[in-house]
A and B are shown apart, each in its own frame.
Chain A
Amino acid sequence: MLNNYKFNTTLLRFFIYIVLIFLLILIVVPIWILIVNASRSTVEIQQGLSLIPSTNLINNYNVLENRGLNMVRGFTNSFYLAAASTLVTVYFSMLTAYGIVVYNFKGRQTFSNFILVLVMIPTQLTIIGFFQYMSRLGLTDNYAALILPLIANAGGVFFSKQYFESMLIQDLIDAARIDGASELKIFHTIMLPLAVPGAVTLGIFAFVGSWNNFFTPFILITSVEKYTLPMLVRSLRGDVYRTEYGAIYLGLAMTVIPVIIMYAIFSRYIVSGIAMGAVKE
């Protein structure tokens, strides 16, 4: 009986590892083919599938550049936009969440529920009204239109609120008050530094969110000099590159590799951060 039970467990474990390896292949193979094909020539790619990199990387890059796609500028733009978005999201989300957690003002619970409702509302759909409004203000084709709305980032506040509630902070605040620190100073010099781990996690999500965002910049940004990486990827699908498979794969790989490297470094923060957004410890 006991042996039978052990045998079943071993069998099940074996089956589970097969499932896991199958899923692993599903995840890794497409990404690996993308990276490999970035280094192969168009002829090689058309001849057949390979999992071994080739030597055509520099040639592909030249094709990419010669046909007018400025990947370096796309990179710079995306990075600048993502960095600014991250700073604004992290600072203002923390500020708002701190206000909710620390002060027992009238309407606090209502405001807190309101944030949760905002998380569950499809805000992207107001883009048309937003676009027309920005064009009246002359703010289309301006990164400010992408960054300023992040001051009111409901998801960021929701996450920061969970984070502040998990820190025991009231005693520290009281101590600082006795020392005569102002409320804003307490937030800036005591609470923000203590909340760095949470800020890093939130910052990573804000950065990736902006880096991956296609729809809003696509609607709002019109001049080619301000195109972000996802917008350049759309150009890759155009007629100019129709048969240059190697260059297309390289262009795609160049957007993906920095994210993979970043993930390799920060994966622990990221994985624990996702859980924190939904579950409260």
Chain B
Amino acid sequence: MKFTKINRNYYGYFFIAPFIIAFLVFGLYPLYNTLSLSLTDYTLMTRKGEYIGLQNFTVLFADQLFLKAIGNTWLIWLLNFIPQIGVALLLSAWFTNNRLKIKGVGIWRAIFYLPNLLIPVVIAALFNSFFSFYGPINQFMVRFGYQAEAVHYLQNVEITRAVVIFIQWWMWFGQTIIIVMAGMTSIPVHLYEAAMVDGASAAQMFRRITLPLLKPILIFIFVTSLVGGMQMFDIPYLLTDGRGAPSNSIMTNNILMYMKFASSRGHIGAASAVAVLTFIMTTICALGIFFVLRDKDDTVTNKPKRSWFKKSETK
């Protein structure tokens, strides 16, 4: 029996071969290609490019628009992520609390998750209609006397940015609740029972038991959200004119990359440089956070339950 098992282990290579081939052809090579294009002045019009070294990058770093795009992307992501995780932690704590016995947890969760399934482009177009001059928001505000007359909301820098942040939050907090809740329910109950016997308050238990044991999951949410946020495109692109208006307030890295790509000559050398810088920035932050913050003995892939037990036993 053991003999056949050992003998067949090399079959694993056949099973993972399609993945590896597809990754090399459609994943790694395009990455390499983007990198090498970023060192050229390649345009779609000429269909060829000369090697120009790091010139694309020096141009970008001198470009206020690029720096603004990076700042915007971080700002929009952070301001939607903080309330997102806050609401998720609060609601998950309420939903999993045995004393409160909130009814219909499954239904609440399911409804809160719904926006995540809708086409982001549609949501952006929808909110564009809502905030337009003749849109429902203006109608509501004027009818109930909050405003004397209709306003061009999406020509205001702060409001436009706030709308993007709100949409991002609106689309993602439901998913975060589901993940955080799954993490909370897998924390062994006896830890809370022991703490209660010792006279710990609810707040103390949340801080000393729930948060530390949720850490691997919180890091996972943080990293995946960051990676998604740094590639934000659909919503800011379709909410206004697709060029970050008003005053580049919702210009993101990806919109800038697309603008260079779709410019009249198709500067894909310069567009690649934007992609490369965003890629490096995101990857360093994401992997850095993941490998620095996580405990040595538990990753998201390891069994959280088992490592928690191990810890509580040895301590």
Q: Do A and B come from the same complex?
A: yes
The residue from A129, A183, A229 contacting B11, defined by CB atoms under 8 A apart: A183
* A57 in the interface (beta carbon within 8 A): no
Query: Please, which residue of chain A has its CB at the minimum distance from the CB of B283?
Result: A121
Q: Are A256 and B118 in contact (CB under 8 A)?
A: yes
The residue from A16, A26, A237, A278 contacting B220, defined by CB atoms under 8 A apart: A278
The residue from B117, B181, B278 contacting A125, defined by CB atoms under 8 A apart: B278
Given A95-B18, A270-B113, A278-B220, A12–B100 Cβ distance below 8 Å? Answer: yes
Which residues of chain A have C-beta atoms less than 8 A from B102's C-beta?
A: 13, 16-17, 20
Alpha-carbon distance A278/B272, docked complex (angstroms): 32
* B37 in the interface (beta carbon within 8 A): yes
Q: Are B110 and A237 in contact (CB under 8 A)?
A: no
Alpha-carbon distance A104/B36, docked complex (angstroms): 37
Tell me which of B27, B35, B139, B221 has the highest count of chain A C-beta atoms within 10 A of its own C-beta.
B27
Binds A, one of B120-128, B153-161, B190-198, B204-212: B120-128
* A127 in the interface (beta carbon within 8 A): yes
**Distance in Å from the Cβ of A209 to the closest Cβ of chain B?**
10
Q: Are A248 and B16 in contact (CB under 8 A)?
A: no
The residue from A119, A128, A260 contacting B261, defined by CB atoms under 8 A apart: A128
* A27 in the interface (beta carbon within 8 A): yes
Which residues of chain B have C-beta atoms less than 8 A from A274's C-beta?
A: 113, 175, 178-179, 182
Alpha-carbon distance A279/B234, docked complex (angstroms): 28
Which chain B residues in 18-77 approach chain A with CB under 8 Å?
18-23, 26-27, 29-37, 42
Q: Are A122 and B279 in contact (CB under 8 A)?
A: yes
Q: Are A230 and B121 in contact (CB under 8 A)?
A: yes
Given A126-B279, A215-B254, A248–B12 Cβ distance below 8 Å? Answer: no
Given A103-B15, A120-B290, A133-B29, A27–B120 Cβ distance below 8 Å? Answer: no
**Distance in Å from the Cβ of A129 to the closest Cβ of chain B?**
3
Query: Please, which residue of chain A has its CB at the minimum distance from the CB of B169?
Result: A26
Q: Are B170 and A249 in contact (CB under 8 A)?
A: no
Alpha-carbon distance A33/B129, docked complex (angstroms): 11
**Distance in Å from the Cβ of A39 to the closest Cβ of chain B?**
15
Which residues of chain A have C-beta atoms less than 8 A from B287's C-beta?
A: 117, 120-121
Which residues of chain A have C-beta atoms less than 8 A from B215's C-beta?
A: none
Size of the A side of the interface (Cβ < 8 Å), in residues, is: 94
* B86 in the interface (beta carbon within 8 A): no
* B13 in the interface (beta carbon within 8 A): yes
A residues with CB within 8 A of B: 9, 12-13, 16-17, 19-20, 23-24, 26-28, 30-31, 33-34, 37, 45-46, 48-49, 92, 95-96, 98-100, 102-105, 108, 111-113, 116-133, 148-149, 151-152, 157, 174, 177, 183-184, 187, 208, 211-212, 214-215, 219, 229-230, 233-234, 236-237, 245, 248-249, 252, 255-256, 259-260, 263, 267, 270-271, 274-275, 277-281
* B8 in the interface (beta carbon within 8 A): yes
Given A34-B126, A128-B257, A149–B26 Cβ distance below 8 Å? Answer: yes
* B165 in the interface (beta carbon within 8 A): no
Q: Are B19 and A92 in contact (CB under 8 A)?
A: yes
Which residues of chain A have C-beta atoms less than 8 A from B275's C-beta?
A: 125-129
Q: Are A46 and B134 in contact (CB under 8 A)?
A: yes
Interface of A is mostly: helix
* B82 in the interface (beta carbon within 8 A): no
Alpha-carbon distance A233/B130, docked complex (angstroms): 16
Map CB proximity to A onto B273-315 as digits: 1 under 8 Å, 0 otherwise: 0011011001100110010000000011111110000000000
Q: Are A99 and B16 in contact (CB under 8 A)?
A: yes
B residues with CB within 8 A of A: 1, 4-5, 8-16, 18-23, 26-27, 29-37, 42, 87, 91, 94, 99-102, 106, 108-115, 117-122, 125-130, 134, 136, 139-140, 143, 170, 174-175, 178-179, 181-183, 186, 217, 220-221, 223-224, 227, 230-231, 233-234, 238, 254, 257-258, 261, 268, 271-272, 275-276, 278-279, 282-283, 286-287, 290, 299-305
Q: Are B16 and A100 in contact (CB under 8 A)?
A: yes
Query: Please, which residue of chain B has its CB at the minimum distance from the CB of A233?
Result: B121
**Distance in Å from the Cβ of A248 to the closest Cβ of chain B?**
7
What are 28 of the A-B contact pairs (CB < 8 Å)? A13-B100, A13-B101, A27-B111, A31-B114, A46-B134, A105-B11, A113-B301, A124-B254, A125-B257, A128-B257, A129-B30, A129-B31, A129-B32, A129-B36, A129-B37, A130-B30, A151-B21, A152-B18, A212-B120, A229-B119, A233-B122, A256-B118, A256-B122, A259-B118, A259-B119, A270-B113, A279-B183, A280-B301
